[in-house]
Amino acid sequence: MESYRAEPYRVPVTEGDRIRADAALHLAAYAFGVPATEMLRRERTRPRACRARWSAMYLAHVSFGWPLERVGHAFGLNRATASTACRWAEDARDDDRYDRVMDGLETNLRAVAELPAVDLALAMGASR
């Protein structure tokens, strides 16, 4: 008898969403002094790295207006994790220092996202 084995469900995520999520992640890594590689680990991380990753997810949520499911998928996580992250970050904004940092990160992430895309192959010439 042949057994049926279902493939795991994979949500399609656009390259653009992954790039935007990476931008939020790297901004948070810089702002909070945590290596992005540590924030991306699949196994348990230090609380500081976890909170920096949660901050990045929150940044994507508020800066891009993404629903939590999209945030989770763009970061390779699920909606429940994105919800936990955003709830934590929203509560953490009661701290004035954290709130100021997040305001600055939101402003800068939006500014970068609004820049026009440049095709470097065309801008630099195909022969280079």
Which CATH number covers residue 63? 1.10.1750.10
pLDDT of 11 reads: 64
> Which residue range is the domain that position 61 belongs to?
15-114
**Domains: count for the chain:** 1
Residue 100 counted as domain residue: yes
Q: Angle, nearest 10°, between helix axes 79-92 and 47-64?
A: 90
Q: Look at residue 84 and tell me if it is in a domain.
A: yes
Alpha helices in the chain (DSSP H): 15-32, 36-39, 47-64, 68-74, 79-92, 96-113, 120-123
- For residue range 48-94, what is the model confidence (pLDDT) as tens digits? 999 999 999 999 999 999 999 999 999 999 999 999 999 999 999 99
Residue 23 confidence (pLDDT) above 80: yes
Residue 119 lies in a domain: no
| 3: pLDDT strictly greater than 80 | no
Q: What is the pLDDT of residues 26-35, one digit of tens each?
A: 999 999 999 9
Residue among 26, 87, 22, 37 at smallest CA distance from 58: 87
Residue 77, in any domain of the structure: yes
Residue 128 lies in a domain: no
The pLDDT of residue 125 is 67
